[in-house]
């Protein structure tokens, strides 16, 4: 087990665990993980912002097929950056048969993020995906593998077929993935296929198969993964419900407390004894960003911990500086508050939202925003009456959603996470020169504790501060 990291810096989408954060953590000898969510949009927007620092350009220069890199550069790069109130270009949408140009962008964007995170050291870097966001899976994973990603971590679903995809891409063989389609009937063609050679146009040397860690919240899922996955599952991250981002829904009937938050109980606690008995390494996540919690995890037989919130607010994370500082100030003043919203996310999974003025955590900010769905990562595929596949999101305009056979009641309280998360990392869409999208920050309940990383008088802390603090339990001074 000694080859495994003690600390996994969690994948945090979109763009919060950027290449910069993952690089900082991996350089320290722990596992830095980039978020693989929406990297195509993020690369396109970084280029339209003029590629400050030239990092995207450097990454693209190393992409093995220069013609693809040049096409992307020509399409999106805006010297000096777009005007602040000018809109970003819209990308084509992902679909079962994603357009070629978007596949290229997806492969290159995942490549660039991992390439940059790996620069300047020889330690492994991981990438995190949400199983629910299925449409970009194949080109994304292939792009990350081209850049030599060491770990693929995936949660928010049952990723039984990902290990097999990793095996196939190791030799640049075509891989397929079955799309979940609501209302699908037997005989419907739901298979997404990605053929590396078609896109790359030439033979490339074999790749290294990354390790695969499934992020789970139940014993049943751990057992299912080991029994039914179509390839090797190298370990598990076991995530509790205090973790940032999306949480697994509570087992049984959803019950809310007085404040409207989901109530979790005994049945949601993972039995670590049973996990240990499976004989694969595991990491504990959700409120484990403290030395005493790391010690507790190690004592329970874990290889270590996965930590998100403590890293989300450090200097190297991709989160906007104004949001970081405002939430750090709240934490310092003892006023930080996180709400487990059971309806905000179009995925219908509970989603943790840090309460912050000027963001979609406020009712008024939400109601001022017209419902627009133009990024579409969280759309659900469904079967149309004609037997074709179309896509809908419960945060899109209600009439459109209903016209696609969606239920009006499913749209209530839904928020456009896609646009909010892009705004969180400094790439808000601007519309008509007037409306600029606001963000909505997700954080674990550990938000209340982040101010302890600040030295007296300091207004920021680094990834190294977090790692040093956590490792105190392993190497006490
Ligand atoms: C800002 C933020 C974004 C997150 N985004 C993702 C994500 O895209 N995919 C994922 O699997 N988990 C995501 N998570 C959960 C983390 O990967 C991790 O498991 C969790 O943060 C651990 O708990 P902690 O926040 O108490 O440290 C996110 C967490 C945070 C704080």
pLDDT, one tens digit per residue, over 362-414 is 999 998 899 999 999 999 999 999 999 999 999 999 999 999 999 999 999 99
Q: What is the per-residue pLDDT for 476?
A: 63
Lookup result for tokens 């419902």: 371
Other CB atoms within 10 A of residue 391 CB: 19
Coil, helix or strand for 158? Answer: coil
Q: So what's the pLDDT on residue 457? A: 86
What 3-state DSSP class applies to 142? helix
The two three-digit tokens of residue 26, written as one number:
């991996």
> Which of 381, 378, 362 shows the shortest CA–CA distance to 439?
362
Closest approach atom of ligand 1 to CA 307 = 27
Over residues 173-197, the mean pLDDT reads 95
How far apart (Å, rounded) are the C-alpha atoms in residues 349 and 250?
10
What is residue 462's three-state secondary structure? Answer: coil
* Residue 201 confidence class, pLDDT cut points 50, 70, 90: confident
Instruction: Work out which ligand 1 atom sits closest to the CA atom of 16.
Output: 1
Q: Which of the four pLDDT bands, split at 50, 70 and 90, describes residue 1?
A: very low
Question: Under DSSP, is residue 359 helix (H, G, I), strand (E, B) or coil?
Answer: coil
Average pLDDT value over all residues in the chain: 95
2 band by pLDDT with thresholds 50, 70 and 90:
low
Report the alpha-carbon distance of residue 471 to residue 477 in Å, rounded.
10
Contact 48, 334 (CB under 8 A): no
The C-alpha atoms of residue 409 and residue 398 are separated, in whole angstroms, by 9
Q: Beta strand pairing status for 191-194 and 211-216?
A: unpaired
The dihedral through the CA atoms of 373, 377, 383, 389 has a sign that is positive
What's the whole-number mean pLDDT along residues 85-113?
95
* pLDDT at residue 302 in the model: 97
Token digits of residue 166 = 């990793």
Please calculate the CA angle 426-429-430 and round it to the nearest 5 degrees. Answer: 115
pLDDT digits (tens, 9 = 90+) for 124-182: 999 999 999 999 999 999 999 999 999 999 998 899 999 999 999 999 999 999 999 99
What is the Cβ-side half-sphere exposure of residue 145, based on CA atoms within 13 angstroms?
A: 29
The per-residue pLDDT for 368 is 87
Give 350-368 pLDDT, tens digit per residue.
Answer: 999 999 999 999 999 998 8
Of 311, 302, 172, 323, residue with least CA distance to 240: 302
Q: Which tens digit of pLDDT belongs to each residue from 246-259?
A: 988 898 888 899 98
**Residue 34: which H helix or E strand, with range?**
strand 32-35
Alpha carbon distance 340, 249 (integer Å): 11
**Residues contacting ligand 1 via CB (< 6 Å):** 10-13, 16, 35, 37, 128, 130, 155, 215, 239, 242-245, 285-287, 289, 306-309, 312, 442-444, 446
Query: Which residues, in sequence order, are CB contacts of 70 under 8 Å at separation 6+?
Result: none
Q: What is the DSSP letter of 433?
A: T
Q: How far apart are alpha carbons 336 and 317 in whole angstroms?
A: 19
Cα–ligand 1 centroid distance for 308 (angstroms) = 5
In this predicted structure, what is the pLDDT of residue 477?
Answer: 56
The helix-helix angle for 66-76 and 100-118 (nearest 10°) equals 100
Q: What is the pLDDT of residue 372?
A: 93
Cα of 203 from ligand 1 centre, angstroms: 37
pLDDT attached to residue 456: 87
Percent of the chain residues topping a pLDDT of 90: 88
Quick one: which of 373, 386, 370, 421 has its CA closest to 93? 373
Bridge partners (DSSP) of residue 285 are 239, 306
374: its two tokens: 């133009």
Nearest residue (by CA) to ligand 1, atom 8, is 13
DSSP string for 99-139: -HHHHHHHHHHHHHHHHHHHTT--S-EEEEEETT--TTHHH
């Amino acid at each position: 087990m000694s080859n495994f990291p003690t600390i996994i810096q969690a994948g945090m989408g979109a763009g919060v665990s950027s290449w910069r954060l993952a690089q900082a953590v991996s350089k320290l000898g722990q596992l830095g993980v980039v978020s693989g969510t929406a990297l195509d949009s993020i690369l396109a927007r970084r280029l339209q912002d003029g590629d400050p620092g030239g990092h995207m350009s450097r990454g693209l220069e190393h992409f093995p097929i220069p013609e693809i890199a040049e096409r992307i550069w020509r399409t999106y790069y805006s010297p000096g950056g777009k005007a602040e109130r000018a809109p970003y270009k819209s990308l084509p949408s992902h679909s079962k048969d994603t357009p070629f140009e978007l596949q290229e962008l997806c492969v290159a964007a995942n490549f660039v993020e991992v390439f940059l995170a790996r620069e300047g050291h020889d330690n492994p870097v991981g990438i995190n995906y949400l199983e629910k966001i299925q449409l970009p899976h194949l080109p994304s994973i292939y792009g990350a593998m081209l850049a030599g990603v060491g770990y693929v971590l995936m949660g928010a679903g049952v990723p039984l077929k990902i290990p097999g995809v990793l095996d196939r891409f190791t030799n640049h063989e075509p891989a397929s993935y079955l799309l979940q389609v609501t209302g699908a009937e037997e005989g419907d063609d739901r298979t997404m296929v990605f053929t590396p050679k078609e896109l790359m146009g030439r033979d490339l040397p074999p790749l290294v198969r990354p390790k695969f860690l499934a992020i789970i919240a139940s014993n049943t899922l751990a057992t299912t993964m080991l029994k039914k996955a179509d390839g090797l599952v190298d370990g598990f991250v076991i995530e509790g419900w205090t973790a940032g981002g999306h949480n697994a829904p509570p087992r049984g009937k959803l019950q809310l407390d007085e404040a409207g938050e989901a109530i979790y109980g005994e049945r949601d606690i993972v039995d670590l004894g049973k996990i240990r008995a499976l004989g694969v390494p595991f990491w504990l996540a959700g409120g484990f960003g403290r030395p005493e919690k790391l010690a507790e995890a190690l004592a329970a037989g874990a290889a270590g911990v996965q930590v998100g919130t403590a890293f989300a607010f450090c200097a190297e994370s991709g989160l906007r500086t104004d949001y970081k500082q405002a939430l750090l100030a709240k934490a310092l003043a003892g006023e930080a508050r996180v709400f487990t919203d059971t309806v905000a996310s179009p995925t219908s999974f509970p989603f943790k939202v840090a309460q912050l003025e000027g963001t979609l955590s406020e009712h008024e900010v939400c109601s001022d925003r017209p419902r627009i769905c133009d990024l579409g990562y969280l759309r659900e595929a469904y079967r149309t009456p004609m037997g074709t596949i179309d896509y809908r999101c419960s945060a899109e305009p209600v009439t459109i959603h209903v016209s696609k056979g969606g239920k009006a009641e499913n749209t209530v309280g839904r928020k456009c996470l896609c646009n909010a998360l892009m705004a969180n990392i400094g790439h808000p869409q601007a519309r008509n020169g007037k409306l600029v999208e606001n963000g909505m920050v997700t954080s674990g309940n550990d938000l209340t504790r982040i101010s302890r990383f600040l030295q007296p008088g300091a207004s920021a802390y680094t990834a190294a501060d977090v790692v040093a603090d956590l490792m105190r339990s392993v190497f006490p001074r």
